[in-house]
Amino acid sequence: MMDATLPKVAEPRAFDSVLIANRGEIALRVQRACRELGLKTVMIYSEADKDADYLKAADTAICIGPASPAQSYLNVPAILLAMELTGAGAVHPGYGFLSERASFSEAVEAAGAVFIGPRADAIRTMGDKIAAKRAMMEAGVPCVPGPDSALPDDMAEVSKIAAEIGYPVIVKAAGGGGGRGMRVVYDASALQDAVLVTREEASRAFGTPELYIEKFLEHPRHVEIQVLCDGQGGGVWVGLRDCSMQRRHQKVVEEGPAIGIPPDVAAFVGNRCVEACRQIGYRGVGTFEFLYENGEFYFIEMNTRLQVEHPVTEMTSGVDLVRQQLLVALGYPLEISQDDIVCEGHSIECRINAEDPYNFIPCPGLITALHLPGGPGVRVDTHVTAGYRVSAHYDSLIAKLIVHAPTREQAILRMRRALGEMRIEGVSTNLPLHREILQDPAFSEGGTDIHYLEHWLAARS
């Protein structure tokens, strides 16, 4: 079904070249999908990235500023200028940087190009966690217990709400992100301070003092659902991923499917997610993130972009998510329906970072030697080569190692084998940590919660 030819629907192509407003492995991933569809690519780069090999994959590469992200990959006027100079008809934002900034989507479309992602209003709704929660509740997506409205100023009212939910509760900033702007409260005496401090932080860091409160779940897993919509009424969910292996809200290992979840429960929640997308006129790929505890799903947020861990879903479903993003942006209705989605086998992804494996301090520097694993069921998404210099200016992700096998057990054996083959010299990486995780009995058993890795690290040191 995912063949090399365009779908038969005769729609005029809205663009024939794509500016990739990102860097590193995801820039290369997007370039590859564009090339397979016959689309030309423009890559932007900062002065720090000017010698990177992956830029050679683009038809055009254009420098947009100095190393600092604010002056380059977040520099909207410079990116729009690059778009104009190169005549790119569309912009793919990748993940991070400008990918979830509604005003960027608007600016690209105002300049006459296609933003490869949802419309600005959908990004805006999902970026406001209260609005997002309300939209989800309306669509019947299960949410964490707590009101879908902002906390009042009156502390007596707030105490009443918290007591109704039942402690522990979590106070969260409506505009929060990246694991910041939230506080857990275990009893009533600590509530007022938590609200005041979080409100202060929210006004300073997220530009809105709005807070909300919900039940704090103590031992959840992180389970997420991938969706894909054409914005014309067509939409599918493409399986579940488990990303519970995290440290400080940063995912370290991801896998799919999420084990131990009955297929009918997964299908019920998946269908509700697609329904929510229809209701907000969602276009493109997106991810609904849930906490999963005692057999129940609790929505926490929607990411309105491609995720780092999207290959896990591609490996199990056979759906090329980036290709689908491009087709939807070109105006094609989805060529797949829910019945076409069949996830097979098991996939695991390890995020390989240039950092100390145990204290997580980034280790930028020159990669002097690189040996990538291969063989059946192994995929490596990376932009680095021997001779590549890992910059201190950007995140430390240098490669994603992904495996696929018929069963989870075989996928674990395959990942151990692939990690054993992988060799990176010159910079310190977290390969040793991944090798240990893949040998861990609890990981092998599966279903560990989101605190597991941090406890394991604490016990180890």
Kindly state the smallest distance separating residue 124's Cβ from ligand ADP, in Å: 15
Cβ closest to ligand ADP, residue 169 vs residue 352: 169
Q: How far apart are CA 80 and CA 62, in angstroms?
A: 12
Dihedral Cα 92, 248, 272, 234, nearest 10 deg: 10
For this structure, is 241 an active site residue? no
Question: Residue 264 class from Cβ within 10 Å (0-12 exposed, 13-18 middle, 19+ buried)?
Answer: exposed
Strands 296-303 and 283-293: antiparallel
CB of 95 to ligand ADP, least distance (A): 13
User: Residue 380 corresponds to which amino acid?
Assistant: V
Which two structure tokens, joined as six digits, stand for 52?
A: 């990177």
Neighbours of 84 (CB within 10 A): 13
- Minimum distance between the CB of residue 408 and ligand ADP, rounded to whole angstroms? 22
Rounded CA-CA distance 98/93 in Å is: 6
Contact 321, 238 (CB under 8 A): yes
Taking the C-alpha atoms of residue 303 and residue 316, their distance in angstroms, rounded to an integer, is 21
C-alpha separations of 274 from 225, 230, 233, 362, 371 in Å: 10, 11, 10, 38, 41
Q: 20 φ, ψ to 5°? A: -100, 105
Question: Cβ closer to ligand ADP: 97 or 216?
Answer: 216
Closer residue to ligand ADP, CB minimum distance, 160 or 180:
180
Q: How far is the CB of 345 from ligand ADP (least distance, A)?
A: 26
Residue nearest to ligand ADP (CB): 217
Question: Cβ of residue 177: shortest distance to ligand ADP, in angstroms?
Answer: 4
Helix count (H) and strand count (E) of the chain?
14, 20
Q: Which is nearer to ligand ADP, 144 or 162 (CB)?
A: 144
**Of 64 and 144, CB closest to ligand ADP:** 144
Which residue in the list 305, 351, 408, 414 is annotated as catalytic?
Answer: 305
For the CB of residue 378, give the shortest distance to ligand ADP in the complex, in Å.
28
**To the nearest whole angstrom, how small is the minimum distance from the Cβ of residue 217 to ligand ADP?**
4
> Between residues 6 and 205, which has the closer beta carbon with respect to ligand ADP?
205
Question: Long-range pairs for 149-156 at CB < 8 Å and ≥24 separation?
Answer: 149/212, 150/174, 150/210, 150/211, 150/212, 151/195, 151/210, 151/211, 151/212, 151/213, 155/191, 155/192, 155/195
Beta strands in 105-168 (DSSP E): 114-115
Q: Is the CB of 249 or the CB of 455 nearer to ligand ADP?
A: 249
Binding site for ligand ADP (CB under 6 A): 144, 170, 176-180, 214-217, 220, 222, 249, 289, 291, 300-301, 450
Instruction: Say if residues 348 and 415 touch (Cβ distance below 8 Å).
Output: yes
Enumerate the active-site residues: 305
